[in-house]
């Protein structure tokens, strides 16, 4: 399952980051690394962006970025 498919209010753990180069580096720089717990707080009405709670702070990411993150 990817982060894009997670329902609002659910807490999941990041299993793997897909993608390469600058996209993967940008995701990792935001604190989304393997083993990190993430809570989906809100999803915009059209589905983009998705608001997350990661390591005690709020983070908004795009749907295509969320689709590149596998969760367990």
**pLDDT tens digit string along 7-27?**
999 999 999 998 888 888 988
Q: How many residues does the chain have?
A: 72
Determine the topology of domain 3-71 in CATH: SH3 type barrels. (2.30.30)
pTM reported for the whole predicted model: 0.83
Please report the pLDDT score of residue 43 as a whole number. Answer: 93
Phi, psi torsion values for 43, nearest 5 degrees: -130, 130
Q: 3 Cβ partners below 8 Å, 6+ apart?
A: 12, 14, 38, 40, 50, 52, 61, 66, 67, 69, 70, 71
Residue 23 CA to its chain's centroid (Å): 13
Residue 48 reports pLDDT greater than 90: no
């Amino acid at each position: 399952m990817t982060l894009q498919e997670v329902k609002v209010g659910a807490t999941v753990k990041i299993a793997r980051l897909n993608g390469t180069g600058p996209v993967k580096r940008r995701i990792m720089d935001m604190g989304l690394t393997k083993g990190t717990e993430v809570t989906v707080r809100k999803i915009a009405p059209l589905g983009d962006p998705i608001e997350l709670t990661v390591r005690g702070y709020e983070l908004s990411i795009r749907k295509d970025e969320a689709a590149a993150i596998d969760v367990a």
